[in-house]
Chain A
Amino acid sequence: DAGVIQSPRHEVTEMGQEVTLRCKPISGHNSLFWYRQTMMRGLELLIYFNNNVPIDDSGMPEDRFSAKMPNASFSTLKIQPSEPRDSAVYFCASSWLAGNTDTQYFGPGTRLTVL
């Protein structure tokens, strides 16, 4: 089975532009997570979906960030307008949440550079 798929793998854009990152979770998983990784702050959870519903978006930095999950096999993270401080690697992860276990499987990430 394919792992978590993310696209694009690399994105370079100019400040003020809209950026859309895409994720396809592992088939059958019911939970999806978006993370941001930077040298300064490490891995930070941005938002968590369960059964396509956003459950915890407390990590979303500000209104410029939005995430959607229209169906069980697709999610997007959008930044509008983008700023240089948004430069980071963005990871999508998925899991099957059952009982007390929630083992997350990560995608390869999207490296975003905002000039």
Chain B
Amino acid sequence: GQQLNQSPQSMFIQEGEDVSMNCTSSSIFNTWLWYKQDPGEGPVLLIALYKAGELTSNGRLTAQFGITRKDSFLNISASIPSDVGIYFCAGQPSGGYQKVTFGTGTKLQVIP
């Protein structure tokens, strides 16, 4: 089946630093999604990407849909303490209902 490799698995950064994380797939996706999960809560959608090459921002967050359709990137600029959490990428292979495959997550810790 499809696999999503997300890296890094975890990271510690200083407040104010920029963060980059990425996700690669063994097969092509039609949609890429980025979620954030706070402790004790469900994942919350941050950004959705629907077209290869698409670059989308949501405040300090920017995500890109890779040209090959097999990867996606998430950048967080000027990190703040509330950015702490687990970030998941997720992909869907094509339109209509297709099972969403989630990455393994990147745990982000921000040091004030």
Contact = CB atoms under 8 A, between A and B. Distances in A.
B65 interface: no
Given A42-B104, A42-B105, A100-B95, A4 B42 contact: yes
Contacts, number: 56
Contact of A43 (B30, B44, B88): B88
Q: A interface, by DSSP: helix, strand, loop or mixed?
A: strand
A58 B42 CA distance: 22
A31 B45 contact: no
A104 B97 contact: no
Contact of A100 (B31, B42, B45): B31
Contacts of A102: 31, 92, 96-98, 100
A25 interface: no
A42 B11 CA distance: 18
Interface in B71-94: 88, 92, 94
Interface residues of B, number: 25
A55 B97 contact: yes
A18 interface: no
Contacts of A108: 40-42
Name, among B44, B98, B99, the residue most crowded by chain A CB atoms within 10 Å (CB to CB): B99
